[in-house]
Structure 1
Amino acid sequence: MSTSKSSANEKGPANRPYHHGDLRRAILSAALDVIAADGPAALSLRDLARRAGVSHAAPAHHFKDRAGLLTTIAAEGFGLLATTLRQAADLKEAGVRYVRFAREHPAHFQVMFAPELLREGDLELATARALAGDALRDAVAAVPPRGRGTDARLAGVAAWSLAHGFATLLLSHNLDGPVGDQDPEEVFRGLAAMLFRPAE
């Protein structure tokens, strides 16, 4: 790592020099930290610039404005979610992976489902959202009608509602009592088994 002639504007908050190609990622990482700690409302491009150790105009150069930054985060989140859902062996495990994604990426999760914060016409966002939706629909379609009912679309809504509702309640600590010291993923598996039963 080269440290020669590194200016103050090339160092992050912990005085770690970064390469110019990493600036976009550095801003995104700082934004995710802020959102995870204080929510999207606390996000400020000027504050992110300070955290990344760059000029206040640098975030706008990469994302134009706050909505652009949040849209990028949401698109990244949907892409990550699509990938993890595709790795599930069945619908129940897709739900488990959905809950795991929310726990491992709480900042992405908060932003992804807040359309009022995003540029809804953004192509990258629309593409990533569609990929995640397709992954969930494919997992539902793989369940025989006897195990999910004849309406695959409503079964998909039910599966998404269960996983998303559980994840949201979990992240907001509304399930601290019912879940307690149990593994949240195992608790979710039990809930999913109540709703989607394998064909006999």
Structure 2
Amino acid sequence: MRRAILAAALDVIAADGPSALSLRDLARRAGVSHAAPAHHFKDRTGLLTAIAAEGFGLLAEAIGQAADLKDAGVRYVRFAREHPAHFQVMFAPGLLRAGDLELTTARALAGSALREAVTAVPPENRGADARLAGVAAWSLAHGFATLLLGHNLDGPVGDQDPEEVFRTLASMLFRSAE
């Protein structure tokens, strides 16, 4: 039942954004009692927090399987394309319970996976400050994914594979990310 509610919520968010979520409507869509969403998530914030935690867990898994930094960025972009509703909620802190243990744990795992990919790049190819290199890598992947999902790159990317375009951009920023 929990999964059915989450799936219905993800469908609504993908189509109409998080502001369109209503626990009563989700119950109807999932074919469960009107009290079921509140039982599983307490309230709308709890549901959105569960979605974000799930998203960060999936992102951590994807990045953790990367061969190198460039691949980590490609996997980040792929995650955003394959899970746009998760992606939208994950980076909207005003919608979430910041102190939720599941959320903070999953977020930390995703951050750790990115840091590992960045620190694997030799300092001469990323700069001496690995933390700033991590900010640069995250900014590139997140910015590209956000612009892509918002259809702001339709012209520049055109019919090209967005993942290949991202690989090119990453090569411009991190020489050893190839």
How high is the TM-score relative to the length of structure 2? Answer: 0.98
The equivalent of 1:141 in structure 2 is 119
Distance 1:122 1:128 in 2: 10
What secondary structure, in the 3-state scheme, does the structure 1 residue paired with 2:125 have?
Answer: helix
Matched, 1:41 2:26: no
Which of the numbers 103, 109, 120 marks the counterpart of 1:125?
Answer: 103
Matched, 1:198 2:164: no
Distance 1:43 1:196 in 2: 40
Distance 1:198 1:25 in 2: 41
Percent of aligned pairs with the same residue? 87
Which of the numbers 71, 75, 82 marks the counterpart of 1:97?
Answer: 75
The equivalent of 1:84 in structure 2 is 62
**What is the one-letter code of the residue matched to 2:158?**
G
Which of the numbers 4, 26, 29 marks the counterpart of 1:51?
Answer: 29
Q: Deviations over 1:133-171 (max 9, x none)?
A: 000000000000011000000000000000000000000
Distance 1:198 1:91 in 2: 8
What secondary structure, in the 3-state scheme, does the structure 2 residue paired with 1:93 have?
Answer: helix
The equivalent of 1:16 in structure 2 is none
Matched, 1:172 2:115: no
The equivalent of 2:53 in structure 1 is 75
Distance 1:121 1:178 in 2: 39
Displaced runs of 4 or more, over 2 A: none
Instruction: Give the Å deviation of 1:56.
Output: 1.0
Instruction: Give the Å deviation of 1:52.
Output: 1.1
Larger RCO (alpha carbons 8 Å, 6+ apart): 2
What secondary structure, in the 3-state scheme, does the structure 1 residue paired with 2:176 have?
Answer: coil
What secondary structure, in the 3-state scheme, does the structure 2 residue paired with 1:80 have?
Answer: helix
Matched, 1:187 2:165: yes
Distance 2:26 2:96 in 1: 18
Q: How many residues get paired?
A: 177
**What is the one-letter code of the residue matched to 2:115?**
R
CA-based RMSD of the aligned residues comes to 0.8
How high is the TM-score relative to the length of structure 1? Answer: 0.88
Q: Deviations over 1:6-63 (max 9, x none)?
A: xxxxxxxxxxxxxxxxx00000000000000000000100000110112211100000
Whose Rg is larger? 1
Distance 2:128 2:20 in 1: 45
Distance 1:161 1:52 in 2: 36
